[in-house]
Amino acid sequence: MAVKPVWNPSIGAAGLFLRHVAVFEAELGLASGFGPMENDECRMNPAAFEVFVNALLIQHRRTSHATFRALDELRIAGSISSLRGRHEMAVAATARRRIFPGSTLRRVNADDANRRWTASMPEAYERHLVPALFRPFAAALAARAAVLRPGRILELAAGTGALTSALLTALPEASMVATDLNEAMVTAGSAREPRAHWQQADAQQLPFEDGGFDLVVCQFGVMFFPDRPAAYAEVARVLAPQGRFVFSSWGTLAAHGFDDAFQTALEECLPGEAPPFLREVPHGYTDPALVASDLTAAGLSLADAEEITLDGVAESAASVATGFLNGTPVSAALQARPDAETLQAAVTRKMTDRLGPGPVTAPMTATIYTARHQA
């Protein structure tokens, strides 16, 4: 039996698929990333398509109507089959939905070692950690935020702008202010993503007027805030009455294949004196009940907490080790050591032994939270 090419417009499937996609572009208010069909070819923007498919999946999970679900299954199957390959990772996410009922201010400055990104750290962070660890979650968070159709967005702890770019791709008409505590991050982020307005700001002391944003977002930043209720109170202040705060926090260290492999290697190489940064900061805010109570203390209420697990793909274990050792606050503690080079080689070897040579994949779990003003 001859195999028919799926995308040959003469068999009608491609045309039907694109008409189908147009219906759901209108419904979601999002671009799918597919261009027009010309001479049997259709260009696509993979980043926009990833956000679009994630938004479809979210809407699908939220409906229990039998007819909608049956129609959804068709369109999602079609979309997913187009996404296979490079972008399969994001849609292969497993999502479990859980709904929870809904201090004193400690100011921070970038001198606090666990919060400091200086000099070339943002470059190493962007090159070695963002593609594998942060970009997959940026697409997932952007999809959840984009369905809210915000016009004015504020991003906290934006880093080099992984989420900034995903949001601006999904919502090109939105105005976006991206902020970060560290000047080096703001410099790197603004060079990489000039569509946003960049500004240095401590999330606990926001230099913005009351009620000026429809959406405040923060990807993997809240764990760094020493006084989270104070930061959340600032979010409540700058958020419009119907606004939403969408943010993410990593799950436990054990539920993150890359972070766990790195911290284990570090602790084996430096028994009793390994920097506890990963264990205590990025993976130190994992309890949704604590998040809910911090939000409540700030006048917000938790509307949704969704735990998701995505596979990260890195070019090698060595690249991930380089990212942690040069692009995170771990570097400050290690680079001053006389044995820094030997240590880096030993950590890299242990990570490679555990994860394998060449491209490596690991599951990573995080929770995406949505909060709003208390009723």
Ligand X SMILES: C[S@@+](CC[C@H](N)C(=O)[O-])C[C@H]1O[C@@H](n2cnc3c(N)ncnc32)[C@H](O)[C@@H]1O
Closest to ligand X by CB, 171 vs 231, is: 231
- Cβ proximity to ligand X: between 190 and 219 the closer is 219
- The conformational region for residue 105 under phi > 0 = left, psi -120 to 50 = alpha, else beta, is beta
Neighbours of 113 (CB within 10 A): 12
Closest to ligand X by CB, 72 vs 202, is 202
In terms of CB distance, is 168 or 203 closer to ligand X? Answer: 203
Residue 225 lies near ligand X (rule: CB under 6 A) = yes
Closest approach, Cβ 105 to ligand X, in A, equals 12
- Residue with the two structure tokens 């696509």: 44
List 171, 203, 246, 334, residue binding ligand X (CB under 6 A): 203
Tokens 């080079």 -> residue: 341
Binding segment (CB under 6 A) for ligand X, from list 18-26, 57-65, 220-228, 298-306: 220-228
Using alpha carbons, select from 294, 291, 289, 264 the residue that is nearest to residue 278.
264
Using CB under 6 A as the binding rule, whether residue 51 contacts ligand X is answered as no
Q: Give the count of residues interacting with ligand X (CB under 6 A).
A: 24
Provide the minimum distance between the beta carbon of 40 and ligand X in the complex, in angstroms, as a whole number: 39
| 117 belongs to the binding site for ligand X (CB under 6 A) | yes
Judged by CB under 6 A, the chain residues 158 through 177 that form the site for ligand X are: 158-160, 162-163
Establish if 295 lies at the interface with ligand X (CB under 6 A).
Answer: no
Rounded distance, CA 207 to CA 236, Å? 13
**What is the dihedral sign for C-alpha 250, 255, 257, 262?**
positive
| Burial of residue 289 (number of CB atoms within 10 Å: 0-12, 13-18, 19+) | exposed
* In contact, 55 and 147? CB cutoff 8 Å: yes
Considering only the stretches 40-48, 70-78, 213-221, 291-299, report the one whose residues sit in contact with ligand X under the rule CB under 6 A: 213-221
The 123-142 contact track toward ligand X, x by CB under 6 A, reads -------x---x--------
Residue with nearest beta carbon to ligand X: 159
Q: Which residues contact 18 (CB under 8 A, 6 or more apart)?
A: 34, 37, 42
Is residue 156 involved in binding ligand X (CB under 6 A)? Answer: yes
**Per CB under 6 A, does 193 bind ligand X?**
no
Residues 6 or more apart whose Cβ sits within 8 Å of residue 333? 113, 275, 277
d(CA 174, CA 165): 12
Q: Please, which residues bridge with residue 302 across strands?
A: 371
Tell me which of 57, 90, 115, 334 binds ligand X, using CB under 6 A. 115
Alpha-carbon span 30 to 327, nearest angstrom: 34
If residue 246 lies in a helix (H) or strand (E), which one and from where to where?
strand 239-250
Instruction: Say whether residue 180 binds ligand X (CB under 6 A).
Output: yes
90 near ligand X (CB under 6 A): no
**For residues 20 and 57, is the Cβ–Cβ distance under 8 A?**
no
What whole-number distance in Å separates Cα of residue 128 and Cα of residue 124?
A: 6
* 329 binds ligand X per the rule CB under 6 A: no
Shortest distance (Å) from residue 107 CB to ligand X: 9
Q: Considering the complex, state which of residue 161 and residue 288 has its C-beta at the smaller distance from ligand X.
A: 161
| Residues contributing to the site for ligand X (CB under 6 A) | 108, 115, 117, 130, 134, 156-160, 162-163, 180-182, 185, 202-204, 219-221, 224-225
